[in-house]
Amino acid sequence: MIALNLERAQYEVSAVGSAEDALALVAAGREYDIALLDIMLPGMNGFSLCEQLRREHARMGIIILSAKTQEKDKIGGLSIGADDYMTKPFSVSELLARIEALCRRISRSADMHDSAEGRLVSGRYVLDSRSHMLYKSGKAIDLTQMEFQIMDLFFRKPGEALRRDDILKSVWGANYFGDPKVVDVNIRRLRMKIEDKPSDPQHILTVWGFGYRWAE
């Protein structure tokens, strides 16, 4: 039913019943903008599929669709790289709205990739919009599209305390329907990737009760 409604909305859809079949499609060279994943799948579950897709396809949008409504499940899904997490039951109109919003974010990320600005430098870090990579002392660090946009925001406003809501609005858009905790989850992932000691961050600093600040 999901595939049918997406096709009616003029999306090209490949519907498969397992994670293994999904990975086979991608491995065969099929390119997808967005993956809609259930968690409870035969064989490999949706969380493991999400992790593998995120490792191999940093720019693919990922939305988890699940009956698991507990906070730990939502945070878990976002922590391993999902861009959004929708709990069942949901309406087709809400799903389409979230897909359209994610497509806009992907498009905005592509525009940044194609921009002529090239590189932003902050201390020993270089954010390269052409390769869509962050370099730390010359070492490349893969970023998801959302992580890249957060770093772009930080690099353009070094030392400025940014509200969580402002980060959410700037990166995910004013009409984001999901959990606002997605900001904190992405900040946690970024710290794991770029900080020497993620438990004692020196660059992505928490401004308690307010948001975050980038320090060179």
What digits encode the pLDDT tens for the residues 46-93? 999 999 998 888 778 999 998 887 888 888 888 888 888 998 888 999
pLDDT of residue 215: 93
CA distance 175 to 75: 20
Q: What percent of the chain has pLDDT over 70?
A: 95
pLDDT of residue 111: 60
Bridge-based pairing state of the strands 34-38 and 61-66: parallel
CA distance 178 to 122: 31
pLDDT of residue 150: 93
Helices 164-172, 92-114: axis angle to 10 degrees equals: 90
What number of helices (H) and strands (E) belong to the chain? Answer: 8, 10
**Cis peptide bond prior to 89, omega within 30° of 0:** yes
Domains by residue range for the chain, with CATH: 2-214 (1.10.10.10)
What digits encode the pLDDT tens for the residues 35-46? 999 998 899 999
User: Whole-prediction pTM value?
Assistant: 0.71
The arithmetic mean of pLDDT across residues 99-120, rounded, is 70
pLDDT of residue 110: 60
